[in-house]
């Protein structure tokens, strides 16, 4: 008997991909320049030199590429800069997520502190900040740090585009163990057999 059915070229395996942080994710998580200025003004913190940070980090990547130009081919340069830029973007994204958690904790503590019947949330003795104030100040510090790292990430991403000639995209890697484990599959088969 001959079969006209062609063998499938696709292996029925679904490949899951894990994406790194993107610049858009950083911009959603980290304060922008206007918000960073407001934080600085409201908490009496130094104003971040946004443009200076962006320019310096842009220059670092451009200078790095120029110094490696003769030693690396185009593809090797792209891979190298992809990793460097990815680390800056990932760091900024992590700082933005941490900032978001700090803001949530500050809001919760502030809301609890506004309840007059809760003695444990009242401010400390005169001259000492209460827990809610400390959390707000911590969130403000984390906001400025996240903003500074956002500026650095924006600088290296723009430098990548200048050096490589295309937009930077986060590296996408395959998940080590996609799908179900062998034990899970065996368990499902056994349970199916039992009816």
Q: Is residue 4 part of a domain?
A: no
> What φ, ψ does residue 172 adopt, rounded to 5°?
-110, 125
Q: Is residue 94 part of a domain?
A: yes
Task: State which H helix or E strand residue 57 sits in.
Answer: helix 50-68
CA dist., res. 160 & res. 181, Å (int): 39
Domain hosting residue 98, numbered range:
19-116+128-170
The pLDDT assigned to 41 comes to: 93
* pLDDT tens-place string over residues 97-132: 999 999 999 998 888 766 655 555 455 555 546 888
Our count of domains for the chain comes to 1
The whole model's pTM is what? 0.73
140 token code pair = 């403000």
Q: Is residue 10 part of a domain?
A: no
pLDDT > 90: percent of the chain:
57
């Amino acid at each position: 008997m001959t079969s006209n059915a062609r063998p499938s070229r696709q292996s029925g395996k679904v490949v899951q991909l894990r994406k790194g942080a993107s610049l858009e994710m950083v911009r959603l998580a980290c304060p922008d320049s206007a918000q960073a200025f407001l934080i600085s003004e409201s908490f009496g913190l130094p104003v971040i030199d946004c443009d200076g940070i962006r320019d310096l980090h842009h220059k670092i990547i451009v200078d790095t590429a120029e110094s490696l130009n003769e030693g690396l081919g185009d593809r090797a340069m792209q891979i190298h800069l992809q990793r460097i830029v990815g680390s800056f973007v990932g760091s900024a994204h992590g700082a933005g997520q941490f900032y978001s958690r700090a803001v949530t904790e500050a809001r919760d503590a502030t809301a609890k502190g506004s309840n007059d019947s809760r003695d444990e949330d009242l401010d400390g003795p005169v001259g000492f900040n209460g827990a809610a104030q400390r959390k707000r100040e911590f969130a403000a510090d984390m906001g400025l740090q996240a903003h500074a790292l956002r500026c650095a990430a924006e600088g290296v991403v723009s430098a990548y585009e200048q050096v490589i000639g295309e937009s930077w995209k986060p590296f996408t890697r395959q998940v080590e163990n996609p799908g179900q484990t062998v034990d899970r599959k065996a368990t499902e088969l056994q349970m199916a057999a039992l009816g």
